[in-house]
Structure 1
């Protein structure tokens, strides 16, 4: 075999070896693509919510395609001092999606979520920061934003189910619109309505209803900062109630103190209705809108018992404007009835 022939054979072998190497490389690349696809999460989406208010909304939007666990659900626990259990932290670390309130209300939840989880935060959606009023579930803007974000997040996690999430979102939005209309109609016809609050839990709810806050500044600041109320501020609050400058007193049923007991007692003696509002959603409610609607109707009944909220809206669905109470209606209602 001459030199030219040997050179040709060597060239052919080299080419063959190169082609084999490329082919092997392509084969490995082709195998990795399906591997990446199959590693994507499938099945029911595991969702852990820090509080049941947002957990119930996640359940509404997700339906049977999500499995939601809410950590803080009791109305007998002070949410601001809540300490999660080890099992709670474990659930957060393993969740595919974590739903939190933010604004300093549930920092333990955002700190404990897994590095691979997706966070949906009400505070981030509305631009609230630590130190702002954290009771965002009572804000129509926060509820609407969270519903949209949950639908989008679920759709990204399970693209094949996007239609279902979108349909549930539309159904929810229709119910929210009717609730918003009922609040707006009340605001239009009760521009002089006022309230004073033992704690700022219902700030957003009352704002959406157009009811003005007349809580004494000193008392409100002490309450917001967790400080002790000065005797002069407490006396000012009591005088305001006695003179009926507040149409209703809003009391946080999960924040009890000597000061709040004195205020609610003064309201009872002065024939001013007290509406108790808890921070966590009571167990008798299945959805956030049902609860907010019941609270709205409790406030309306306390301010104007003759006002029919249902007739002021364009209809109602799922009890959003049916005037149902939630067991947290004015604590002095029975006393007022007995006095008549």
Structure 2
């Protein structure tokens, strides 16, 4: 993994409003292109992203200079235990760059890349870029620090693969940094509203985001460890969680509607009975949103309203 580079300023920066909508119009079909597309001076870099959380960011950063093939989009498949198809394996083989989440979240992709050996594409692993190790929370797209460090790594690698597009890619990365302003503002608003309050979560999907907003994670340690390991919590851990929810010490319970279970449903009912606000956060970018930033901002605003109530 090459070290990330510091983003340079560039003239002719795209407007923030334009950039936010570009994920839908970027060259993100994954189809092979042998000639320059749109405003890109070179033919697109072929990129494979394991999940759409990172695939959308690649599309925005790369614009016309990337053709992105995202393997898992939406909630139809669980990235933890996904089995790649022959078409997925072929996509890795044809790609120039693969973007992985890492930390065991998409280990199937690493196995597929290992089989290619030296013939495989360049790889960006968000976990490695973020200096994390297996066992840390793998939901890195909910970490503001990981979003920025991985974005820098993507821009650097695309520039290495398409050096003649350096100016274009610099403009995209600078515009992306500006487009993150509403994201940063929403995070600040959440921090101010929470004022150090406690939260609990049935699954650690958005824990990094909440902790970045300086909320205190009150989820029982044993329950959180079971969730990270994808195992059932012990009766004692479940009882401790229910006691927490009825104690009045938690400002919000965060749940993932894409990963329902009897335990999560039980905790949700307990929270609702105790009048603890319950907020849903999704693991993947919903199909009916305008992209990564609007998705994250909307969820932070919902969390802000909940902790302020």
Q: TM-score higher than 0.5 here?
A: yes
Unaligned runs of 5+ in 2: 1-41
Match of 1:215 in 2: 219
Matched, 1:242 2:246: yes
Cα distance in structure 2, aligned partners of 1:53 and 1:76: 14
Match of 1:53 in 2: 53
Unaligned runs of 5+ in 1: 1-41, 306-340
Question: Which one of the candidate residues 263, 277, 300 is aligned to 1:273?
Answer: 277
Aligned pairs (5 A) from 1:3-18:
none
Matched residues, number: 264
Cα distance in structure 1, aligned partners of 2:227 and 2:99: 27
Task: Please say if residues 48 and 68 of structure 2, whose CA atoms lie closer than 8 Å, have aligned partners that are also in contact.
Answer: yes
CA deviations on 1:198-254 (whole Å, 9 max, x unpaired) are: 011111111122211111122222222222222222122112112222111111223
| 3-state secondary structure, aligned to 1:71 | strand
CA deviations on 1:169-200 (whole Å, 9 max, x unpaired) are: 01111122442243134324532322101011
Aligned pairs (5 A) from 1:25-104:
43-104=43-104
Task: Please say if residues 194 and 307 of structure 2, whose CA atoms lie closer than 8 Å, have aligned partners that are also in contact.
Answer: no
Question: Which one of the candidate residues 290, 301, 304 is aligned to 1:300?
Answer: 304
TM-score, normalised with respect to structure 2: 0.80
Match of 1:140 in 2: 144
Q: 1:274 to 1:207 in 2, by over 3 A?
A: same
Which aligned segments of 4 or more residues in structure 1 are displaced greater than 4 angstroms? Answer: none
Match of 1:176 in 2: 180
| 3-state secondary structure, aligned to 1:264 | helix
Match of 2:106 in 1: 106
Cα distance in structure 1, aligned partners of 2:219 and 2:159: 43
CA RMSD of aligned residues (A): 1.7
Cα distance in structure 2, aligned partners of 1:201 and 1:168: 28
Match of 2:25 in 1: none
Question: Which one of the candidate residues 176, 191, 196 is aligned to 2:200?
Answer: 196
Match of 1:157 in 2: 161
Match of 2:6 in 1: none
Report 1 or 2 for greater relative contact order, CA contacts < 8 Å, sequence distance ≥ 6: 2
Cα distance in structure 2, aligned partners of 1:245 and 1:189: 16
Cα distance in structure 1, aligned partners of 2:228 and 2:162: 41
Cα distance in structure 1, aligned partners of 2:279 and 2:214: 16
| 3-state secondary structure, aligned to 2:50 | strand
